[in-house]
Amino acid sequence: MQDDVLTRWRSFVQKLTERYQQILAESDAGFTGLLEDPNLDPITFGNAMSAIEIRVKELRGKLGDTYTQNVVGHLSAMKPAEQLMRQTEDWLEEHFEHWRVSWNGRLVRSIWARAQPLMHRKVGCSKCGAELTGRTVFHQAESVGCTHCGAVNSVTPDPLVYTYFAMAPDMIADEQTVKSKLGLDRARRAGASRAQRIELTRQHWRAFVAARAQIAPMSAEEQERFVASRVRYEEQWG
């Protein structure tokens, strides 16, 4: 009886894992199509990603519910069954996080390919029509004086440029530091000491903010304040 419980449980976990992989395969095809669309809509992409996250969370919930309903109580089967459940939970979490940040990275790089040419296109003076040549900022609004007539122009980037700089700093940083983030999560689950968790937290957020600053510049002092705030949170709530 106990062997039957464990066998059925292993079969269930395998089927759930296969369903998870099927969901991601279908999503890969869908996201590929979205990024190839000339009229790429980041909102549509984000909504689709949120929907997939919900489906993956439902699978994880089903994993725990099925274990509770069908395995708990069968004492000789519980230890290996619980171990398999924990391993599967961790694998689902880590695999999906790698998948998620990879696609988000592909999204913002696709946006950049479209936004970069828009940043430097010529802008004419609103008064005399002459090309404005004194621009110094290309990703946010800027007041630019016309060298021909002296009029002050308010120049705003294309909305796609705004979108890129709103999304890319965090998404690129997430992609570049996913390993350290998951390493910190593993340390927490393994019961690492407070000192170890704080040091891993500091290392992760220093790498994150350095990657972020490649797109959204921050001074060394600003970066350290950012890291310090994350370390304080870990000290209090981690």
* 59 found inside a domain: no
In the chain, how many domains are there? 1
- In this structure, the number of other CB atoms found within 10 A of the CB of residue 208 comes to 23
Quote the pTM value: 0.89
Q: What is the rounded distance in angstroms from the CA atom of residue 164 to the CA atom of residue 69?
A: 46
**Is residue 223 assigned to a domain?**
yes
Q: What is the pLDDT of residues 49-77, one digit of tens each?
A: 999 999 999 999 999 999 999 888 886 76
- 146 close to 135: Cβ distance less than 8 angstroms: no
Residue 11 in domain: no
Residue type, 71: V
Report yes or no on 42 lying in a domain: no
Domain annotation covers residue 36: no
The phi and psi torsions of 76 (rounded to 5 degrees) equal -70, -20
Structural domain range at position 214? 177-238
Amino acid 72: pLDDT: 86
Taking 60 as the threshold, does the pLDDT of residue 1 lie above it? no
Summarised one tens digit per residue, pLDDT across range 184-220 is: 999 999 999 999 999 999 999 999 999 999 999 999 9
